[in-house]
Structure 1
Amino acid sequence: MSQPLPFDRHKPYNHLPLLPPPDEKVITIEILKALNTANKALAELKGLAKKLPNQSMLVNTIAIREAKASTAIENIFTTDDKLYKALAGNEIGMEPTTKEVLRYRQALWEGFKTVKNKKTVSVEMMIKLYREIKQLKDGIRPPQTETVIMKRGTAPLKANIVYTPPRGQKLIEQKLKNLVEFINNDEKYNYDPLLKMAIAHYQFEAIHPFRDGNGRTGRILNVLLMVQKELLDFPILYLSSSIINSKEDYYANLNKVTSQRNWNHWVLYMLNATEETALYTIKKINEIDRLFDRTLVLVRKKHPSMKKEVIEKIFEQPYISPRALINKETKSVNTAKKYLQQLEKLKIVVPEKVGKEIIYLNVDLFNLLAEF
């Protein structure tokens, strides 16, 4: 096998190697041990989620935490309070950063539906994710866009360029075609799914196919790949919180693959992040589940006629409006208001006026999620 061409951070990395990498680079004793523990944690998470009476409650709650963390990695910040108020249906004075987080969440759901339906990852799906995140009709980065990756926190000086991705639309499309074949063809590329996820994430970020939003698109692809490979039934594991707590390591290990073809550190980083996130998510699910059970016991004691679905609804996200409770059982806004006022008297929710509307906050759930 010929030696790879030397890497020059100032020139387009058009000779980015196609997948797969050499087996000896990604199949080591250290990596195999890390795969074992990460897969065990992921299997425990999947099993725990199946036991929940309403998985949508969990999915909605955790998905918004990922959206917030992933956009924060790109230095796009919003507060929990603003975010949950927006989710409750109140768009008065919604800030652009909050809209960015909500667009990420929407892209995640669109991608999830596509993967569940088609069972594959495609270039077209990647483009749809990017368009939803950025709210553009754009596509693959054109050749006149001289994209470079700068060292974070520095002025735009040439000396601070850390990476120049491949350039040329046909070349980018070729590398993306290779990437999706690697992801989808498990017969030809028979790798452990988590190993495949780690390799694919590096390759997507190295190709850097879009003008912007590549990091967020790539992080959505991580969890979609786990769903596609049936490691999870729903997108309930998100690596963004772990990444944001170790951003320097994340970018350093990405760079080591590019500059040194050092896959070992990168793969171990991603596997450790997966295990850590799975175990922490298990802990938070158990906390949310216990809170839900205590709340349900209290409500059934004081208001036995109140439907369980009402309690499930106030656990989908911390803020809720009366309109959000309306369904086949709760058919009017007045009935919904009555339920929420009963929950207010039990100190389960507290009202807050936003514009002309009263919305209600599940305080204990809000506090649990604030630590997520």
Structure 2
Amino acid sequence: IRECHAKLLSGVRGESKSPGQYRKVPVFVGSLVPPPAHYVENLIADLEKFIHEDTAILPLIKTGLAHVQFETIHPFLDGNGRIGRLLLVLMLLDYGIINEPVLYPSFYFMKYRSEYYDRLEAVRTKSDYEGWIKFYLRGVRSSAEDIVKRAWAIDTLLVDCTRKIETEPLRSHANAYIVLEQLCHTPVLTINDVIELTGSAYNTAQKLVTSFVNLGILELDKDIQRTKTYTFRKYLDILEKEFTG
């Protein structure tokens, strides 16, 4: 956990607040008063033991319990929320609930931020674990539904783009498919990127990009003046769209 924290805070907000080190001083987070600093190391050790030991608790429930415990310990001066969200995904992967880091209940938590904090507080003050777990599972379900709908939308878009490419009289359809695949990883590119990606000459790469623009796959980003930059806008729209409530 400390190693993750050190990497996560490298070069970003919080890097001056002892990355990778448990806090040595008291902290106050709203109405939450986390345990004194001298308890942190042992509490985290207990949490890690709970995470890794075999229990009768269902793995998905276990991730929710571990999350509320970590947030209550609040072991670092900064970045606790980010590490807590990362820990959730790592646990889901470790327990075999997901095979890729694609499930993010934290988006649901942030959307319903007020209830999220109320549920955490209810665990601490009223031992309302049931209320928290039900909220947590709603977040997991919402995230799962979002993934499925987003994946279908992306698949539909790529099928449509592929059909358009097939009808275009290009010198190399193979290069077009290479660029289309790359756009799913980096949906913003320049002609020089296409040259590097395909090994094509400048004129050939330019014609390919122009074809993609004419087909409605790429759009010229008019906000970037220095170098002509193109975006896979329909793909970005899917990534930014809210699919679940």
Question: How far, CA to CA, are the matches of 1:180 and 1:303 in structure 2?
Answer: 58
Q: 1:127: Cα distance to partner?
A: 4.2
Kept after mapping to 2: 8 A contact 1:299/1:306:
yes
Kept after mapping to 2: 8 A contact 1:313/1:325:
no
State the AA in 1 paired with 2:235: L
**1:208 matched to which residue of 2?**
74
TM superposition score normalised by structure 2: 0.86
Kept after mapping to 2: 8 A contact 1:123/1:180:
no
Kept after mapping to 2: 8 A contact 1:133/1:213:
no
TM superposition score normalised by structure 1: 0.58
Q: 1:224: Cα distance to partner?
A: 1.4
Question: How far, CA to CA, are the matches of 2:206 and 2:58 in structure 1?
Answer: 50
Kept after mapping to 2: 8 A contact 1:340/1:349:
yes
Match of 2:179 among 306, 310, 332: 310
**1:274 matched to which residue of 2?**
140
User: Residues 202 and 302 from structure 1, CA distance in 2 versus in 1: closer, same or farther, beyond 3 angstroms?
Assistant: same
Question: How far, CA to CA, are the matches of 2:120 and 2:22 in structure 1?
Answer: 21
**2:33 matched to which residue of 1?**
164
User: Residues 336 and 165 from structure 1, CA distance in 2 versus in 1: closer, same or farther, beyond 3 angstroms?
Assistant: farther
**1:370 matched to which residue of 2?**
240
Kept after mapping to 2: 8 A contact 1:123/1:177:
no
Question: How far, CA to CA, are the matches of 2:105 and 2:58 in structure 1?
Answer: 18
SS at match of 2:229: strand
Matched, 1:125 2:38: no
Higher relative contact order (Cα pairs below 8 Å, separated by 6+ residues): 1
Equivalences, count: 235
Counterparts of 1:179-190 in structure 2, within 5 Å, are 179-185=47-53, 187=54, 189-190=55-56
Question: How far, CA to CA, are the matches of 1:303 and 1:135 in structure 2?
Answer: 53
User: Residues 326 and 261 from structure 1, CA distance in 2 versus in 1: closer, same or farther, beyond 3 angstroms?
Assistant: farther
State the AA in 2 paired with 1:340: V
Matched, 1:139 2:20: yes
> Unmatched 5+ residue regions in structure 2?
none
**2:104 matched to which residue of 1?**
238
**CA offsets 1:256-289 (integer angstroms, 9 cap, x no match):** 1111111111111111110111012101110111
Q: 1:345: Cα distance to partner?
A: 1.9
Counterparts of 1:1-372 in structure 2, within 5 Å, are 122-131=1-10, 134=13, 136=15, 138-144=19-25, 146-150=26-30, 162-168=31-37, 170-185=38-53, 187=54, 189-303=55-169, 305-307=172-174, 308-325=177-194, 330-332=198-200, 334=202, 335-353=204-222, 354-372=224-242
Q: 1:326: Cα distance to partner?
A: 5.4
SS at match of 1:358: coil
User: Residues 270 and 164 from structure 1, CA distance in 2 versus in 1: closer, same or farther, beyond 3 angstroms?
Assistant: same
User: Residues 135 and 148 from structure 1, CA distance in 2 versus in 1: closer, same or farther, beyond 3 angstroms?
Assistant: closer
User: Residues 319 and 199 from structure 1, CA distance in 2 versus in 1: closer, same or farther, beyond 3 angstroms?
Assistant: same
Kept after mapping to 2: 8 A contact 1:292/1:315:
no
Q: 1:250: Cα distance to partner?
A: 0.4
Q: 1:343: Cα distance to partner?
A: 0.4
User: Residues 193 and 350 from structure 1, CA distance in 2 versus in 1: closer, same or farther, beyond 3 angstroms?
Assistant: same
Task: Report percent identity of matched pairs.
Answer: 26
Question: How far, CA to CA, are the matches of 1:260 and 1:178 in structure 2?
Answer: 22
State the AA in 2 paired with 1:139: G
Q: 1:149: Cα distance to partner?
A: 0.8
User: Residues 275 and 182 from structure 1, CA distance in 2 versus in 1: closer, same or farther, beyond 3 angstroms?
Assistant: same
> Unmatched 5+ residue regions in structure 1?
1-121, 151-161
Kept after mapping to 1: 8 A contact 2:106/2:139:
no
User: Residues 331 and 202 from structure 1, CA distance in 2 versus in 1: closer, same or farther, beyond 3 angstroms?
Assistant: same
CA RMSD of aligned residues (A): 2.3
